[in-house]
Amino acid sequence: MAEIERMAIPHEEYEQRLKKIQEAMKKEDLDLLIMHSCECESANIRYLAGIWTVFDFIGGIIPKEGDAILLTGGPESYDLVKQMSHVRDVRVHPIYVETNSPEWDKPTDAYNYKKIFDELRERFPLRRIGIANTNTIPNAIIEDIRKAAPDAEYINGDELVMQIRWRKSDNEIQLLREAYRITDEAVRKTIPLVKSGVREWEIEAQWRAEAYKMGAEGVSYPIWITSGPTTFQSLCRSTERIIGQNEMVQLTLGAKYAGYCGNVCRPVIIGKLPEKHKNMIRVASDCLTETLENMGPGVPFADVYDKFQAHLAKEGFAGMTLYGPAHGTGMQECEGPWVDNRNGMVLEPNMAFNIDIWIADREYGVRFEDGVVITKTGVERLTSFGPEAIVL
């Protein structure tokens, strides 16, 4: 078997990312920014340092000047992070350890936030502290932070980091292309298995095997296959259900490569469907095509969103979707910005999106999802499937 040459973000780009974050902190008058990641929500720390932890949590402390600091929970994670991180200052803070952790026999030079903050106060006062990942950071960590700087003003720092991540570098776009290529080819190799008599999880397992063989490091999100009566669910899990004749199978699949997420969502039609479901699939397909045509550099988000909603209303599907026709993608399959008519934004070169067309009632549902990058002159599609259902 030919050796797979893996692509990666170069070290210099991680240094540039730290500087971008510190420039944004300066505009917000922040002295510190604290970030948090875990195995399933890895993006922010991975963006900063290129490290994806196993079991333990990982924290990032970014001062307004100087090098960042990473915190992890025990000697095992310390060794992993020291080996793989592009941030070299790594410290053990026991509060970042996994659930049900052992009492370590191996000694550790443990830190807490007070010890670190006292060190930083020798350089500058800690007046304003931003905290990112506010919806995932454990309360015990928040308490330790506040105890270490009780007089500081605390600011929500989620958007500060996310807005930097919205615009991709050329290296990031290259990794996205590879994530979508793997996703796409694995879907094509899996489609022959999609037929009556096969269980949903068997299709997922086949796709996973193909994606891993091509170099995927994991999945972009908890992928799933739905069929028949569960296709109306926007989120689901593959089950033991055996696929039957004359029904739709929804493929919701994405490979992660070097931290970047691919994604392909397509309905597969086996036999004959009720007219109501066929019509829903047709409208979703038309909306995908229309949204692709409407997107481009300088186009207001509101124009794309309003045309999508108008199309749904014209076809009798008003109120049968959850959000606008596209959302940002990158190190998270869904990471913002959201294409709607509420934020006043315009599409810019090097923004990456998933066009996400989801229509459902309580009986039927369908999702088409494709990746795109906005270029200086138009739109680059990252998915090679046509904008229609796969008919078997």
What are the structural domain ranges in the chain? 11-164, 170-391
**What local confidence, expressed as pLDDT, does residue 5 receive?**
76
CA 174 to chain centre: 16
Half-sphere exposure of 275 (CA within 13 A, CB side): 0
pLDDT single digits (tens) 320-351: 998 989 999 999 999 989 999 999 999 999 99
Give me the residues of the chain with pLDDT under 50, please.
Answer: 1
**Residues 6 or more apart whose Cβ sits within 8 Å of residue 59:** 34, 35, 36, 37, 45, 70, 71, 72, 93, 96, 141
Q: 339: helix, coil or strand?
A: coil
Between the CA of residue 329 and those of 101, 123, 151, 221, 367, what are the distances in Å? Answer: 34, 37, 37, 12, 17
Nearest to 192 by CA among 271, 268, 277, 281: 268
Distance, in Å, from the CA atom of 102 to the CA atom of 106, rounded to the nearest integer, reads 11
Length of the chain as a residue count:
392
pTM over 0.85? The answer is yes
Q: How confident is the model at residue 121, as a pLDDT?
A: 97
Overall CATH class of domain 170-391: alpha beta
Q: Quote the pLDDT of residue 3.
A: 57
Paired tokens of 226: 């739905």
Pick from 69, 30, 28, 72: nearest CA to 52:
72
Structure confidence at residue 99 (pLDDT): 77
11-164 sits in which CATH class? alpha beta
Please list, in sequence order, all residues whose beta carbon lies within 8 angstroms of the beta carbon of residue 301, skipping any fewer than 6 positions away: 324, 337, 339, 340, 341, 343, 344, 345, 346, 347
Specify whether the CB–CB gap between 197 and 321 falls below 8 A. Answer: no
What gap in Å lies between CA 343 and CA 323, rounded to an integer? Answer: 14
Q: Which two tokens mark 128?
A: 């304003």
> Given this model, what pLDDT does residue 2 score?
53
**In the block, which residue shows the tokens 């066929």?**
278
